[in-house]
Homo-oligomer: A and B are copies of this chain.
Amino acid sequence: MHAEMRHDPLQRRWVIIAPERGIRPTDFTTRDDEVEEFDPFAEGNEQHTTPEITAVRKPGTKPNTPGWTVRVIPNMYPAFRIEGELNRRGDGLYDSMNGVGAHEIVIETPERFQDIPQLPDEQLRTIGLVYRDRIIDLYRDRRIKYAILFRNHGRAAGASLSHPHTQIAAMTVTPLQIAMELNAARAHYHAKERCLLCDMLVQEKQQRVRLVQETEKFVAFCPYASRFNFETWILPRNHMYDFRKLPDEDVREFMLILRDVLDRMQGALKDPPYNFILVTAPNTETHDPRPAQWSTLELDWHWRVMILPRLGSLAGFEFGTGFHINSTPPEQAAELLRSVEV
């Protein structure tokens, strides 16, 4: 059985039923401190992964052989597959469709124990360019409505392999949470003719208490209503709605502030498990005609990265209400992160 998307009429959300990812109860018994013995993402083990989609390689090396610095492959246990029809169907009260889309892995270094904080500037720039160019390529498929790039670091953050990698999931629906954010940004714009996240940056730069780092083109801060302890967002300082628009010359600076924030978290929190998530714009070219609610998207939306350290456990309260409880005021988190010597 391939992955299937199912819709809940009460909670009005889709869920992905992906049984290939493990069905038996024993599949769930991984321990936090377990390190897998075999590293399929290491240089030399290319034959043990799915065939590569693209790679940054030394001239003259062949696909699926050593000689690469960044390598992109399809996820072996995908939540979404590129082949097939959506096949939207009803089942009484319920709705389902096939898990059509793409689910890719960006292997960020041939070295297993070299993570973002250890990587040289040029390698980081290469990774950033791959992030951007994969999203550009995936959005060429007009079935794709939204692509999210996310990184799980540490088992408590959902990582199943320790070799540094990031994932990209491209979907045929705009996720409910993204749709709600798009609505909020649009409503703010229509009321004020200003971008909500630009307004947030103005306030953060005035108050300064939640700032973590600033560079010429980017700002990192702990959001006022942080869901997670030490949650940090990185935004382009000037309005930019779509990560695909990030110019080549700014990619390095973006990756360097990302590394700077991760360095600070490592210093303050001792290699915490974390997720980072790139929230970009939906694929406006997928719709013809373009939906009316996206008429001001270029003006009202602003891409960002959210870094979410996973220090506590989510509990029944969060899953019942959607409310998060955060024990670190973001002002204290930012102060501690600023104080780390990088």
Contact = CB atoms under 8 A, between A and B. Distances in A.
A196 B16 contact: no
B199 A321 contact: no
Nearest to A268: B25
Nearest to A16: B325
Contacts of A129: none
A70 interface: no
Nearest to A175: B321
A17 B329 contact: yes
Contacts of A184: 9-12
A177 B15 contact: no
A277 B319 CA distance: 8
Interface stretch (A40-48, A55-63, A86-94, A251-259): A86-94
Interface stretch (A107-115, A146-154, A288-296): A146-154
Interface string A1-44: 10000111111111111111111010110011000000000000
| Chain copies in the assembled complex | 2
A237 interface: no
A21 B184 CA distance: 31
Interface in A223-264: 223-227, 229
A328 interface: yes
Interface string A157-188: 11100000001010100011110110011001
A93 B203 contact: yes
Given A16-B325, A321-B148, A327-B21, A225 B7 contact: yes
A320 B150 contact: yes
Contacts of A311: 25, 28
Interface string A311-326: 1111111011111111
A23 B332 contact: yes
A155 B197 CA distance: 36
Interface string A296-322: 000000000010100111111101111
A169 to B, nearest CB: 6
Contacts of A152: 313, 315-316
Contact of A15 (B6, B17, B178, B227): B227
Contacts of A8: 223-225
A79 interface: yes
Contact of A316 (B13, B25, B157, B171): B157
A6 B311 CA distance: 20
